[in-house]
Amino acid sequence: MINHSDLPLCEVCKSDISTNKIVVARGNPNASLMIIGEAPGAKEEEIGQPFVGRSGKLLDKLLINSGIDIALDVYFCNVVKYRPPKNRRPTKREIEENLPWLYQQIKLVDPDIVVLVGTTAVESILRIKTRISFLRGKWIKWEDKIVMPVFHPSYLLRNPSKEEGMPFALSQLDFLKVKEKMDHSEDSSNMSFL
Ligand code: URA
């Protein structure tokens, strides 16, 4: 059992963390697709795995609907490995202190494709501040990976309409593009470069 006191965090951050548990990953460490979220929520902390609460169930649904095998093809993780108190967004400092762990995960899993779920993941990895509604669904070259930002499923839970052009339907199209890229990962056309 790893506990947050093992993380190289400053004393202020440690004292602010309400939990002892850290949440590292779920899925296949040899997967070709890595999904990176923000930080665990209450359910994730309880179970010890990322994306197992309501947001995670919705994310699983989008993946499965797209023909992606979540047990075989996907490795789920987060930028921050413990639950920020009161479900607040992680601070800049927490993100910077956790990033080396995430970089290690990326290096070890070495996925072909990375999906960045929500603003925190996008800003932490790509080091840019842009509206997610502008970036979502676009392929971006980052280091030796191809990366796609998508809406966070918690945003989709707050905007549940499945009508064409609405966030849920757009997200479903994004994951279909991900599946298509997984099936033809050598094709690097239509990509933006940052
Ligand atoms: N939201 C995230 O960003 N990550 C999780 O693991 C769960 C919810």
Look at residue 193 in the predicted model and tell me its pLDDT.
Answer: 55
Whole-angstrom distance, CA of residue 156 vs CA of residue 9: 32
Look at residue 1 in the predicted model and tell me its pLDDT.
Answer: 44
Mean pLDDT over 8-16 rounds to 55
Cβ of 38 less than 6 Å from ligand 1 = yes
pLDDT single digits (tens) 49-68: 999 999 999 999 999 999 99
Whole-angstrom distance, CA of residue 166 vs CA of residue 162: 7
Report pTM. 0.90
Beta pairing partners, 76: 26, 35
Pocket test for ligand 1, best of 36, 55, 62, 102 (most atoms within 8 A of CB): 55
Instruction: Point out the ligand 1 atom lying closest to the alpha carbon of residue 43.
Output: 7
192 — phi, psi (to 5°)? Answer: -90, 155
Mean of per-residue pLDDT scores for the chain: 91
162 — phi, psi (to 5°)? Answer: -100, 10
Look at residue 18 in the predicted model and tell me its pLDDT.
Answer: 57
Where do the domains of the chain lie? 2-182
Cβ of 90 less than 6 Å from ligand 1 = no
Specify whether the CB–CB gap between 83 and 40 falls below 8 A. Answer: yes
For residue 5, pLDDT beyond 70? no
Cβ of 41 less than 6 Å from ligand 1 = yes
Tell me the CA–centroid distance for residue 150 and ligand 1, in Å: 13
For residue 152, pLDDT beyond 70? yes
pLDDT single digits (tens) 19-58: 568 999 999 999 999 999 999 999 999 999 999 999 999 9
Cβ of 27 less than 6 Å from ligand 1 = no
Indicate the residue type of 57. K
**Domain spanning 2-182: which CATH class is it, in words?**
alpha beta
Q: Could you give the 3-state DSSP secondary structure of residue 138?
A: coil
